[in-house]
């Protein structure tokens, strides 16, 4: 019996010994690197080094957008501390606010989030952290608490590890407050009130031109929790969902991502491993990627800032710091490991915009809207607006583009609610996003199409006695033009002629020609947020499409809309001989090439140009007066438009033209929503814009009498002269 007990004990000791040996092998050999890395991670820290966002400058080099130094306070919701001998994440937001509460609030939505927010704000307002910050920053306690709550819960917070990453909280604070907080944090014997605050010298995006350039530049903002989650991936019910490489918004690329090569930063293998660790998240043996974006990044939200975000954002760098004792008798310090990491600043984007011209065009629109236009009493002063674009007719370069009123990207955060409630909708860039019935601006396009398709010619005349009938339905014209050919119909804007021309052309051909001339789809401008307008697809198919609807779209009415930018592209094609340009604001020669070319019959173009010339210069032209678009000594060709949009409301006023007539250089389009007759509201804006562009001054009566009379150009005399 005794020997049997000895044998059992020996066997047990042998098994225990074997288990100990196996564990030692596991620790020392099989998983040595893993545990060494875990130990290393406890003694190291990654520091993000953000780049400077690229500048935006105008065609002459004037600054339009740039980063300015700012003193910021970032929030670190939690840090790693020893609790009961173990290193664990601990909340820095106060004893009553645990990491679990922060994660719960961050992941809640709707009523649940409001409930957690209310409770957490109460605890924050009673904390010493909020009290001290309120005093130093000169802010109300509740405002400070709300900012801390938003920063703590507004970023991804799937687990405690996410709370160890700092995120922006207070931007551009007073330097004295910044210095006081920084000094207290560096005092080893001071209070630990500001453990949750990291003072950082950052950059604030500045827009010197303010609202004059707001619609073009757009603005910047932080990545939202939803966007960052989508970029880097997430876990859904324990399954890894990889991040997306591209996120689109309203049909445009919102964020375009590049692969991050650690060798672009440093050569040290340990730092490379750390970068990969930051870009990858592992849970239950499954890994997903961050796709190269950091949760605290600033990204473009609209305009050029959004469209060229990838070029402007630059590339972040990471620096690995290790906790060491440089002096055996001194305290431990964080020391950089390996080769110093260098961030890559964003590119400088030069625009085709002339800032001085842009400012002057803004003033022209401001003066017109507030003083010059004879508004109908039905249009309330607080709803009045206008827009205008000046674009090179041959290569699509935009020299100036103003939608009035605009918004100032520098102050939009403070004025957000006011801007959102403004009935003039200042956030909408009416040039690229305003979708309006184009009215009579379509008549030159219908004329080009009908002449090119041989449906009419110069000898074709239709009788206009003010109205025609289709069954019992009456289709009217503003005047009695009598017998008119295509040139006279364009000059006098005869509806009857174009009703009947549209009938000859047919709905399908009208649709196809509108589409070819850039209507009904985006033009491809490099400013984020462009809208496509609308063309009725029924016109293409003919399904449930009556002749009366063909009449309507022949004069730019009915179920169709266009943006002023689309009109500018279409009129550029008439001016340059059929090239569809890509409108653009970046100074890039590769963008100057046309998108496509329409083989338009030269005789058709010559006839239509003559009609557009007579709109401004002819005796019956709808923009012939000096109070409209006529400029003494400078020949324009254009078309007025007064588009109906809602029964009982004033029409939208349009004017589109190109100049000079002899050698087209620019196309100019102006729109005054509910401005009434285009010749009175929009045409004077275009006249002033063209005179400013060419720095042209009309000659006085005395100067004209002192100089010999030069015969007016006749655009029908010489085809080469007319084509330019």
Answer yes or no: do 568 and 583 share one domain.
Answer: yes
Q: Any idea what the Cα angle at residue 485 is, between residues 483 and 489, rounded to 5°? A: 90
User: Residue 256: its pLDDT value, please?
Assistant: 46
Query: What are residue 69's phi and psi, to 5 degrees?
Result: -60, 135
In 3D, which of 345, 203, 223, 196 has the Cα closest to residue 290? Answer: 223
The CATH number covering residue 364 comes to 3.40.710.10
**pLDDT tens across 258-285, in order?**
333 333 333 334 444 444 444 555 655 6
- Count up the domains in the chain and report the number: 3
In a domain, 140, yes or no: no
Q: Measured between alpha carbons, how far is 317 from 198 in angstroms, rounded to an integer?
A: 19
Segments forming the whole domain that contains residue 183? 31-76+165-350
pLDDT band at 61, cuts 50/70/90? very high
More confident residue, 200 or 227: 200
Answer yes or no: do 68 and 169 share one domain.
Answer: yes
Q: Measured between alpha carbons, how far is 581 from 84 in angstroms, rounded to an integer?
A: 70
What lies within 8 Å, CB to CB, of 37 at 6+ separation is 273
Joined together, the tokens standing for residue 488 give 């006279």
More confident residue, 20 or 537: 537
More confident residue, 118 or 576: 576
Answer yes or no: do 496 and 585 share one domain.
Answer: yes
Answer yes or no: do 320 and 370 share one domain.
Answer: no
- Whether pLDDT at 662 is above 60: yes
Q: Which of 46-50, 468-472, 615-619 has the lowest mean pLDDT?
A: 46-50
If you average pLDDT over each of 76-90, 119-133, 203-217, 699-713, which comes out highest?
203-217
Average pLDDT, the chain: 85
The neighbour count for residue 381, using CB atoms within 10 Å, is 8
Answer yes or no: do 379 and 517 share one domain.
Answer: yes
Across the range 110-121, mean pLDDT stands at 87
Answer yes or no: do 619 and 558 share one domain.
Answer: yes
**What is the residue whose two structure tokens read 């449906």?**
455
Across the range 402-428, mean pLDDT stands at 93
DSSP secondary structure letters along 448-481? HHHHHTTS--TT--EEESSEEEETTEEEE-SS--
In a domain, 160, yes or no: no
In a domain, 286, yes or no: yes
**pLDDT tens across 524-558, in order?**
999 999 999 999 999 999 999 999 999 999 999 99
Answer yes or no: do 604 and 515 share one domain.
Answer: yes
Q: Are 48 and 341 in contact (CB under 8 A)?
A: no
Answer yes or no: do 340 and 474 share one domain.
Answer: no
User: Residue 669: its pLDDT value, please?
Assistant: 98
In a domain, 152, yes or no: no
In a domain, 708, yes or no: no
What's the burial of 472, exposed, middle or buried (CB within 10 Å: 0-12/13-18/19+)? exposed
The CATH number covering residue 302 comes to 3.90.1310.10
Across the range 46-73, mean pLDDT stands at 90
Q: Measured between alpha carbons, how far is 517 from 531 in angstroms, rounded to an integer?
A: 16
Across the range 573-596, mean pLDDT stands at 97
More confident residue, 720 or 361: 361
More confident residue, 512 or 314: 512
Of 306, 332, 350, the position where a domain reaches its end is 350
Answer yes or no: do 363 and 278 share one domain.
Answer: no
Q: Measured between alpha carbons, how far is 537 from 169 in angstroms, rounded to an integer?
A: 49
Answer yes or no: do 317 and 361 share one domain.
Answer: no
Radius of gyration in angstroms for the set of CA atoms belonging to the chain, rounded to a whole number: 34
User: Residue 340: its pLDDT value, please?
Assistant: 66
Query: What are residue 482's phi and psi, to 5 degrees?
Result: 70, -150
Of 350, 381, 401, the position where a domain reaches its end is 350
User: Residue 147: its pLDDT value, please?
Assistant: 93
User: Residue 116: its pLDDT value, please?
Assistant: 85
In a domain, 143, yes or no: no
Q: Look at strands 56-57 and 349-350 and give their pairing.
A: parallel
- Whether pLDDT at 251 is above 50: no
DSSP 3-state of 276: helix
Answer yes or no: do 401 and 473 share one domain.
Answer: yes
pLDDT band at 705, cuts 50/70/90? confident
Report the interhelical angle of 507-516 vs 443-452 (nearest 10°): 110
Q: Measured between alpha carbons, how far is 132 from 138 in angstroms, rounded to an integer?
A: 10
Q: Any idea what the Cα angle at residue 496 is, between residues 494 and 502, rounded to 5°? A: 105
Of 301, 323, 350, the position where a domain reaches its end is 350
What's the burial of 721, exposed, middle or buried (CB within 10 Å: 0-12/13-18/19+)? middle
Please state, in angstroms and as integers, the Cα–Cα distance from residue 415 to each residue in 168, 218, 422, 485, following that order. 20, 15, 11, 54
The neighbour count for residue 414, using CB atoms within 10 Å, is 10
User: Residue 263: its pLDDT value, please?
Assistant: 35
User: Residue 41: its pLDDT value, please?
Assistant: 45
Indicate whether this model's pTM tops 0.85.
no
**pLDDT tens across 363-391, in order?**
999 999 999 999 999 999 999 999 999 99
In a domain, 705, yes or no: no
Q: Measured between alpha carbons, how far is 341 from 522 in angstroms, rounded to an integer?
A: 42
In a domain, 518, yes or no: yes
Q: Measured between alpha carbons, how far is 257 from 254 in angstroms, rounded to an integer?
A: 10
**What is the residue whose two structure tokens read 């399908």?**
508
Across the range 110-118, mean pLDDT stands at 86
Answer yes or no: do 262 and 374 share one domain.
Answer: no
């Amino acid at each position: 019996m005794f020997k049997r007990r000895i044998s059992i004990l020996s066997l047990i000791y042998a098994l225990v010994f074997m288990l100990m040996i196996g564990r030692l092998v596991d620790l020392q050999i099989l998983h040595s690197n893993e545990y060494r890395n875990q130990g290393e991670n406890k003694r190291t820290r990654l520091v993000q080094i953000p780049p400077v966002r690229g500048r935006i400058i105008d065609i002459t080099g004037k600054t339009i957008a740039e980063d300015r130094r700012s003193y910021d306070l970032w929030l670190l919701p939690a840090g790693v501390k020893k609790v009961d001998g173990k290193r664990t994440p601990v909340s820095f937001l106060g004893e009553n606010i645990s990491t679990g509460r922060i994660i719960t609030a961050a992941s809640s939505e709707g009523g649940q989030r409001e409930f957690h927010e209310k409770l957490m704000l109460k605890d924050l307002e009673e904390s010493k952290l909020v009290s001290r910050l309120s005093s130093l920053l000169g802010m109300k306690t509740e405002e400070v608490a709300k900012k801390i709550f938003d920063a703590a819960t507004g970023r991804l917070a799937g687990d405690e590890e996410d709370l160890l990453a700092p995120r922006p909280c207070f931007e551009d604070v007073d330097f004295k407050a910044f210095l006081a907080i920084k000094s207290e944090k560096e005092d080893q014997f001071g209070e630990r009130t500001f453990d949750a605050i990291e003072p950082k010298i950052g950059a604030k995006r500045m827009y010197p031109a303010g609202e004059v350039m707001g619609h073009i530049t757009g603005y910047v903002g932080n990545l939202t929790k939803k966007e960052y989650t989508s970029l880097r991936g997430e876990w859904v019910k324990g399954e890894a969902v990889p991040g997306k490489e591209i996120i689109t918004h309203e049909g445009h690329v919102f964020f375009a991502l590049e692969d991050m090569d650690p060798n672009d930063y440093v050569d040290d293998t340990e730092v490379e491993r750390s970068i990969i660790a930051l870009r990858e998240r592992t849970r239950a043996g499954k890994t997903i990627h961050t796709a190269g974006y950091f949760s605290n990044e600033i990204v473009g939200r609209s305009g050029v800032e959004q469209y060229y975000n990838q070029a402007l954002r630059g590339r972040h760098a990471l620096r690995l710091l290790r906790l060491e004792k440089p002096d055996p008798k001194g305290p431990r310090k964080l020391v950089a490991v390996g080769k110093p990491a260098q961030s890559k600043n964003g590119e400088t984007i030069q625009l085709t915009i002339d800032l001085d011209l842009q400012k002057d065009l803004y003033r022209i629109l401001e003066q017109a809207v507030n003083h010059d236009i004879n508004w109908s009493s039905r249009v309330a002063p607080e709803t009045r607006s206008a827009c205008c674009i000046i674009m090179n007719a041959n290569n699509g370069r935009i020299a100036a583009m103003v939608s009035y009123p605009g918004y100032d990207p520098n102050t939009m955060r403070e004025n957000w609610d006011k801007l959102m409630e403004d009935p003039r909708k200042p956030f909408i860039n009416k040039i690229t996003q305003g979708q309006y019935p184009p009215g009579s601006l379509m008549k030159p396009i219908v004329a080009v199409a009908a002449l090119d398709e041989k449906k009419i010619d110069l000898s074709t005349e239709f009788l206009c006695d003010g109205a025609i009938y289709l069954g019992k339905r009456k289709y009217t014209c503003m005047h009695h033009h009598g017998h008119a050919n295509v040139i006279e119909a364009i000059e006098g804007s005869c509806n009857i002629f174009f009703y009947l021309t549209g009938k000859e052309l047919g709905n399908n051909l009208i649709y196809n020609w509108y589409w070819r001339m850039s209507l009904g789809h985006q033009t491809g401008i490099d400013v984020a947020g462009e809208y496509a307008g609308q063309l009725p697809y029924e016109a293409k198919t003919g399904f449930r499409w009556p002749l009366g609807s063909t009449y309507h779209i022949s004069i730019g009415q009915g179920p169709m809309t266009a943006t002023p930018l689309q009109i500018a592209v279409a009129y550029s094609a008439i001016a340059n001989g059929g090239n569809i340009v890509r409108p653009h604001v970046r100074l890039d020669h590769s963008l100057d090439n046309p998108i496509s070319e329409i083989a338009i019959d030269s005789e058709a173009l010559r006839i239509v140009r003559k009609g557009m010339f007579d709109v401004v210069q002819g005796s019956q032209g709808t923009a012939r007066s000096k109070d409209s678009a006529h400029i003494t000594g400078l020949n324009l060709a254009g078309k007025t438009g007064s588009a109906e949009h809602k029964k009982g409301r004033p029409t939208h006023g349009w004017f589109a033209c190109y100049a000079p007539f002899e050698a087209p250089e620019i196309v100019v389009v102006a729109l005054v929503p509910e401005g009434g007759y285009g010749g009175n509201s929009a045409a004077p804006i275009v006249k002033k814009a063209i005179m400013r562009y060419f720095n042209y001054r009309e000659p006085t009566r005395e100067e004209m009498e002192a100089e010999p009379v030069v015969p007016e150009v006749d655009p029908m005399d010489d085809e080469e002269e007319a084509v330019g």
